[in-house]
Amino acid sequence: MRPVIGITQCLDERERWRRGREYLYGDFAYSRAVEDAGGVPVWLPLQTDAEALLEHIDGLLIPGGDDFPPPSGASYAPDVQFDPAPERQVAFDRRLLGGARERGLPVLGICYGMQLLALEQGGALHHHLPADRPEAAPHQLPERGGRHDIEVDGGTRMARALGDGRVPVNSLHHQAVSDPGPGLRISARAPDGVIEAIEAETGPFCVGVQWHPEKLDGDGRLALFRALIAAAGV
């Protein structure tokens, strides 16, 4: 049987889609990539009992989403805009992530998902790269065709999935991990030093990436999803 990969959803609680309604949504590109890589994608709706969902999946994918708000007292220029992920969604995703790791389920975090993984491990974020790392290159590139290289460390899960050395990726973020937290190691960086991938130092497959592999073309699109599904099928 093909491994079942649970995918978390974003919550619209601000009536952005339609007045008087709340919506759960996700980019179809994620479930399509999981299916193309050999898994069975299942969307996980926000609910009270996260543990009940974990009983029915073999692996967890936490995809991209909205922002994590900066800590109280942090000061940014008036033109810096944040679009915070709803607290209910973040709390639910944290329960799923914690439960998945306790059960030894493989986990892949993408963009928001990578940042959540770092925060859950006691790590930290750059909440707005142009302000927090003004020397960094631009990381909010055009979705179509915008690319920069990353340097993948040899001997890591990331290297086994993508190969070590330089790999081109897309880049759609203004937040990034500044400290992955205890138990996680950095497995790839951009040329400017911004962290692009993290992974668990030991134990089951647990990887976070800052780019969006589901939006890539060619071999780079499915490599990480195949690695997740292979780990889920063990």
Catalytic, out of 111, 139, 148, 174: 111
| Alpha-carbon gap, residue 144 to 146, rounded angstroms | 6
148 among known catalytic residues: no
Residue type, 103: R
Catalytic, out of 148, 173, 174, 212: 212
56 among known catalytic residues: no
22 among known catalytic residues: no
Identify any residues that bridge with 185 across adjacent strands, giving them in sequence order.
199
Residues with catalytic roles: 111, 212, 214
